[in-house]
Amino acid sequence: MHTSLFGLVNNAGRATPMAPTDWMQIDDFNTILDVNLIGLIEITLKLLPLLKKAKGRVVNVASVMGRLAFLGGGYCLSKWGVEAFSDILRRDMQHFGVKVSIIEPGCFKTGVTSSEVIERDLLRLWNQLTPEVRESYGDKYFVECKAQRFSMKRLCDSDISKVTKCMEHALIAKYPRTRYGSGWDAKFFWLPLSYAPTLLSDMMLRMLLPTPAASRKSVSRVQLDV
């Protein structure tokens, strides 16, 4: 019996903890990378012989944050890794008839965007900071972080079919796309911003994200000096 597999969709993942880099420990990175990247690579390698026999499809779910990194922690790193692994896999497997697609969703209402989980991890990280680091960010920054996460959840799309339709097309279409942007925020904001000059994307993200207390103080001093 010749066993084969036509389709593999890698969608398992976790997002938290997400916070500034100097709030993190190495275990916080490993927790996410082990699931989102290493786990994805491991299952793909195990099933690749079956996919080659069937000249099948691999669909890897990355994120807009695999194209534009703007939140600290392992999530953006893992999704950039998924992008790179998928590009390499596609180029390696084209000789064997295996097609590889990447889905890059924007913000959707899922367990990954649960405000309760995100707030719990933020509080845990905040409580373990040294007094020096905590002072450099300030209590206002922590409050604004929680408020921002809540606002993001409200803006997240509840129509998950936008993602599943991309998966379906990548699996059964005669000519699947290499990349699928999924969600209006992905198509009209995050992905276009990823092509913008770094100076512009940095400026836009700075306007959207909270500002640490130490940064506000330095700006105030500069204005006074002027």
- Give the Cα separation of 201 and 207 in Å (integer): 10
- Give the Cα separation of 58 and 45 in Å (integer): 11
With CA atoms as reference, report the closest residue to 75 among 16, 148, 153, 156.
Answer: 16
Active site residue 75: yes
- Per-residue b/e over 157-177, b at no fewer than 16 CB within 10 Å? beeeebbeebbebbbeeeebe
> Which position among 75, 137, 141, 180 bears the catalytic label?
75
Handedness of CA 163, 164, 170, 174 (dihedral sign): negative
* SS3 (DSSP) at 18: strand
Residues that are catalytic: 75
